[in-house]
Amino acid sequence: MLSEQIFLLDLGWLGGDIGWFLPGGPGCAMTFSNRNPERKWVEIPVSAAVIKHPDGNILFDTGISLQAMETHEKGLTEVFPIVRMSEDNRIEVQLQKIGMQPEDIDFIVISHLHLDHIGQLGVFLAHKTPILVQKRELESALFMLWQGKGGAYDFSDLEPLRNANWVPLDDHQFELVDGVNLEWTGGHTAGHQVMHVKTQSGRFYTFTGDYLHIPEEYALETKGWLLSDAEEWHTYIRKLKIIQKARKGQLVMGHDPDLWNKYPSAPDPLK
């Protein structure tokens, strides 16, 4: 049995320099002939997805902590500040819109452990919900934090997750339930993974996490400063295009500035 319905949760907005996402355009490095390149500030949504499945409901990512501007490393929230957030962006409130409570989530899939993907994970700790993350991601995040080089990983998010019900994955592909496949991509972070979902209505969606932030990255096959391993990233992009073509798939980029014009937010399901 395949997935019945998919909902996208609206978990606020972040801002940042376009150069994080896209090299070569606005925000690019100075060159000999252009010492004054144009700079551009972009605002991107923070979102999560709920997959209603007969074998267990799945939550993909959990957004950013509502308190991040106070609790997180100042340097990090200066670079990626929360620009829009309200009580309505609490994950419990978003789940209520689709008639769910945190305990109705059977599996949590985390694309990677950056601040804007695990910020509201604490809500599920009391329920011991299994958290599926690539083993390499957990190792890498803790290693980097321990070196004082956390980047977009923050202790405020990771510290409360000690002894959480982690399910570390060390295989590149894992079918969680019928028609829901987790796939390691690397590229953005060492252990980044995406999620592919086949639905009962015959649709195929890929939730890209931050492997792709904005559609231009997919079209131009390039990524900005948020690239940890270019070789890994480029190894996957053509494969992703083949997968999308063969399955007539749709990409859901959770940070696409145009996300809410393309897809509805909860309580309306994806079509």
**CB 14, min distance to Zn ion, A:** 8
Q: Which of 94, 117, 126 is nearest to 211 (CA)?
A: 117
Q: What DSSP designation does 42 have?
A: E
**CB 171, min distance to Zn ion, A:** 24
Q: Which stretch binds Zn ion (CB under 5 A): 59-67, 97-105, 110-118, 222-230?
A: 110-118
Q: Which stretch binds Zn ion (CB under 5 A): 91-99, 108-116, 127-135, 224-232?
A: 108-116
Q: Which stretch binds Zn ion (CB under 5 A): 60-68, 116-124, 194-202, 257-265?
A: 116-124
**CB 116, min distance to Zn ion, A:** 4
Q: Which of 107, 29, 106, 11 is nearest to 66 (CA)?
A: 11
CB under 8 Å to 142, separation ≥6 — which residues?
A: 158
- 82: which strand partners? 14
How many angstroms separate the first and last alpha carbons of the chain? 18
Coil, strand or helix at 204 = strand
Nearer to Zn ion, 116 or 183 (CB): 116
Q: Which of 23, 88, 11, 27 is nearest to 255 (CA)?
A: 11
Nearer to Zn ion, 100 or 110 (CB): 110
Q: What DSSP designation does 72 have?
A: S
**CB 117, min distance to Zn ion, A:** 6
Instruction: State yes or no: residue 137 binds Zn ion (CB under 5 A).
Output: no
- 16: which strand partners? 42
Instruction: State yes or no: residue 232 binds Zn ion (CB under 5 A).
Output: no
For the window 201-220, what string marks contact with Zn ion as x by the rule CB under 5 A? ---------x----------
**Strands 41-52, 5-17: parallel, antiparallel or unpaired by DSSP?**
antiparallel
Q: Which stretch binds Zn ion (CB under 5 A): 76-84, 109-117, 176-184, 230-238?
A: 109-117
Residues in the chain: 271
Instruction: State yes or no: residue 157 binds Zn ion (CB under 5 A).
Output: no
Coil, strand or helix at 226 = coil
Nearer to Zn ion, 3 or 10 (CB): 10
Q: Which of residues 180-199 bind Zn ion (CB under 5 A)?
A: none
Nearer to Zn ion, 90 or 192 (CB): 192
Tokens representing residue 182 in the block: 């987790």
Q: Which stretch binds Zn ion (CB under 5 A): 31-39, 66-74, 83-91, 114-122?
A: 114-122
Coil, strand or helix at 233 = helix
Per CB under 5 A, residues contacting Zn ion are 116, 210
